């Protein structure tokens, strides 16, 4: 089988690229190893920058404006007191609480409605999405086993379907949007690939709880007991996180222990307490910062988590992936228009993609690492280090410049140099 653009990975990055290519009339195929249902039920972050919301709205996916919640501020809580950052007052921009699973559902539904899978646009009803017809643009349950001619003119992949049948897909350009464990990334030759990595000595214990909201805005809190984040989902369910050891086993905790840990991290002289209720889901999220360079190898390109990962603090991962894809789509159109037979196209055009996204990628790296470092207690941290962190937080909120610097990063900087 042949196509112009082969996309490995059908998460938000792969599906947004598929949707944009469909709108530009570009022939392509998406291969995703998981089922639509599995992705839909994997909890991820919940904050969209103003620019990411604009990307979705411009792409015709406006549900976020109706079902998402606009947030004009966040709270930093330390010394047992709230310090509000007025995002909108400081930057003119807001963020939106809209879970990544909803972004995925909107994209998957739109692609189904446009006939990309599920025989005749069933609206993306669960089971239809899993059938994986041969002519479909999006193939769920499609596992890539080999990358062919990775650095060459006619890259491709071997993949197997749910029935274990093997297939070959050849394309003019191959995009790896296959997440942090990317298969495609590993086919970049070691001699050309550089990976910049930072590891953290802590992780997040994440829960979904059945309770009403405890606060109107997100609360990022740090105390002598460590970090916690009070986020939200719906009227009846909330998303909470607290700092833990990377090797923590979440099944060992009772609901009461989880609540006691959360309560002591948010406690203060103002008497703030979380509304308690049943803990419905729990998992440990590991922290890792990484950037791969280059993001192009011949006619293979990486986007989203396949190219870079950030720790969850500040929720930059999805925003970065969507920003990558918008630039990638633009560059692919230039490249595809660039001429006649695939073999004659000017591949240096593809380098524009890496050049244009690099500034945003590194800003997000800095922002996520900075927020993480400022808000978490390091295991074995000296008393000096702990007090220095508090001094930084107090200075930050006492200074309008400091608050604005944080707000600019949190809301996503607007258009970034190079884009
Ligand atoms: C959420 C996750 C984050 O990492 C964050 O910084 C803010 C919100 C969330 O899941 O709601």
Q: Say if 413 falls within a structural domain.
A: no
Instruction: Establish whether 146 is a catalytic residue.
Output: no
Q: Say if 412 falls within a structural domain.
A: no
Same domain, 44 and 100: yes
User: What confidence score (pLDDT) does residue 164 get?
Assistant: 96
Same domain, 212 and 352: no
Instruction: Establish whether 250 is a catalytic residue.
Output: no
Burial of 194 per CB tally in 10 Å (0-12, 13-18, 19+)? exposed
Same domain, 114 and 260: no
Q: Say if 397 falls within a structural domain.
A: no
Q: Say if 405 falls within a structural domain.
A: no
Same domain, 133 and 187: yes
Which of 241, 267, 285 finishes a domain? 285
User: Using CA atoms, how far apart are residues 289 and 287, in angstroms rounded to an integer?
Assistant: 7
Instruction: Establish whether 71 is a catalytic residue.
Output: yes
Task: State the CATH number of the domain containing residue 180.
Answer: 3.50.50.60
Same domain, 55 and 173: yes
What pLDDT tens digit does each residue of the chain (419 aa) get?
999 999 999 999 999 999 999 999 999 999 999 999 999 999 999 999 999 999 999 999 999 999 999 999 999 999 999 999 999 999 999 999 999 999 999 999 999 999 999 964 344 344 444 445 668 999 999 999 999 998 899 999 999 999 999 999 999 999 999 999 999 999 999 999 999 999 999 999 999 999 999 999 999 999 999 999 999 999 999 999 999 999 999 999 999 999 999 999 999 999 999 999 999 999 999 999 999 999 999 999 999 999 999 999 999 999 999 999 999 999 999 999 985 555 578 899 999 999 999 999 999 999 999 999 999 999 999 999 999 999 999 999 999 999 999 999 999 998 898 88
Entry pTM: 0.95
Same domain, 14 and 137: yes
Structural domain containing residue 208:
203-285
Burial of 387 per CB tally in 10 Å (0-12, 13-18, 19+)? exposed
Same domain, 62 and 11: yes
Q: Say if 170 falls within a structural domain.
A: yes
Which of 285, 305, 338 finishes a domain? 285
User: What confidence score (pLDDT) does residue 115 get?
Assistant: 96
Q: Ligand 1 pocket check: which of 228, 312, 314, 374 to mutate, most ligand atoms within 8 Å of Cβ? A: 312
Angle between helix axes 12-23 and 100-113 (nearest 10 degrees) is: 30
Same domain, 264 and 276: yes
User: Kindly report the CA angle at 309 between 305 and 310, in degrees rounded to 5?
Assistant: 140
User: What confidence score (pLDDT) does residue 262 get?
Assistant: 98
User: Using CA atoms, how far apart are residues 72 and 144, in angstroms rounded to an integer?
Assistant: 42
Same domain, 316 and 355: yes
Task: State the CATH number of the domain containing residue 212.
Answer: 3.30.9.10
Q: Say if 352 falls within a structural domain.
A: yes
Token pair of 388 as six digits: 């220095």
Which ligand 1 atom sits closest to the C-alpha of 45? 10
User: Kindly report the CA angle at 189 between 186 and 194, in degrees rounded to 5?
Assistant: 80
User: What confidence score (pLDDT) does residue 129 get?
Assistant: 43
Which ligand 1 atom sits closest to the C-alpha of 206? 10
β-pairing, 28-32 with 138-140? parallel
Asked if residue 327 lies in contact with residue 266, where contact means CB atoms within 8 angstroms, the answer is no
Same domain, 53 and 115: yes
Residues 68-92: tens digit of each pLDDT:
999 999 999 999 999 999 999 999 9
Which of 269, 285, 301 finishes a domain? 285
Tokens 């309008």 belong to 400
Count the domains in the chain: 2
Nearest Cα neighbor of 48 from 287, 267, 299, 315 is 315
Instruction: Establish whether 316 is a catalytic residue.
Output: yes
Same domain, 30 and 163: yes
> Which residue's CA lies nearest to atom 11 of ligand 1?
46
Instruction: Establish whether 312 is a catalytic residue.
Output: yes
Which ligand 1 atom sits closest to the C-alpha of 232? 11
> Which residue's CA lies nearest to atom 10 of ligand 1?
45
Q: Say if 407 falls within a structural domain.
A: no
Q: Ligand 1 pocket check: which of 97, 103, 227, 241 to mutate, most ligand atoms within 8 Å of Cβ? A: 241
Same domain, 134 and 230: no
User: Using CA atoms, how far apart are residues 301 and 289, in angstroms rounded to an integer?
Assistant: 20
* Backbone torsions φ then ψ of 142, nearest 5 degrees: -110, 110
Q: Is the CB of 312 under 6 A from ligand 1?
A: yes
Q: Say if 410 falls within a structural domain.
A: no
Nearest Cα neighbor of 77 from 242, 253, 312 is 242
């Amino acid at each position: 089988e042949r196509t112009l653009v082969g996309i490995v990975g059908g998460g938000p990055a792969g599906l947004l690229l598929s949707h944009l290519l469909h709108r530009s009339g570009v022939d392509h195929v998406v291969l995703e190893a998981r089922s639509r249902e599995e992705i839909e039920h994997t909890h991820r972050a919940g904050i969209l920058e103003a620019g990411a919301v604009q990307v979705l709205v411009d792409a015709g996916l406006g549900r976020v404006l109706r079902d998402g919640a606009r947030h004009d501020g966040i709270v930093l809580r330390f010394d047992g007191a709230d310090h509000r950052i007025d995002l909108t007052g400081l930057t003119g921009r807001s963020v939106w609480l809209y879970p990544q699973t909803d972004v995925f559902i909107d994209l998957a539904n739109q692609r189904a409605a446009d006939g990309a899978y599920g025989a005749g646009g069933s609206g993306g009803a669960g089971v239809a999405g899993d059938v994986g017809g041969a002519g479909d643009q999006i193939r769920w349950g499609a596992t890539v086993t080999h990358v062919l001619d990775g650095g060459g003119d006619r890259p491709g992949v071997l993949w197997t379907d749910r029935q274990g049948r093997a297939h070959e897909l050849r394309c003019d350009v191959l995009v790896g949007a296959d997440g942090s464990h990317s298969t495609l990334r590993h086919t970049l030759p070691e001699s050309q690939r550089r990976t910049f990595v930072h590891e953290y000595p802590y992780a997040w214990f994440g829960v979904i709880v059945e309770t009403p909201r405890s606060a109107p805005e997100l609360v990022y809190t740090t105390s002598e007991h460590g970090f916690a984040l009070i986020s939200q989902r719906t009227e009846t369910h909330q998303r909470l996180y607290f700092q833990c050891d990377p090797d923590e086993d979440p099944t060992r905790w009772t609901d009461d222990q989880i609540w006691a840990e959360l309560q002591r991290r948010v406690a203060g002289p103002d008497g703030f307490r979380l509304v308690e209720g049943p803990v419905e889901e729990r998992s440990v999220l590991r922290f890792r910062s990484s950037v791969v360079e280059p993001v192009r190898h011949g006619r293979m390109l990486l986007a989203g988590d396949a190219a870079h990962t950030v720790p969850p603090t500040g929720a930059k991962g999805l925003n970065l992936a969507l920003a990558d894809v918008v630039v990638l789509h633009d560059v692919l159109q230039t490249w595809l228009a660039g001429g006649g037979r695939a073999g004659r196209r000017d591949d240096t055009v593809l380098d524009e993609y890496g050049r244009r996204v690099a500034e945003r990628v590194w800003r997000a790296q800095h922002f996520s690492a900075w927020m993480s470092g400022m808000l978490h207690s390091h295991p074995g941290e000296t008393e000096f280090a702990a007090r220095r962190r508090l001094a930084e937080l107090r200075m930050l909120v006492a200074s309008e410049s400091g608050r604005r610097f944080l707000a600019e990063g949190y809301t996503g900087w607007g258009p970034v140099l190079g884009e």
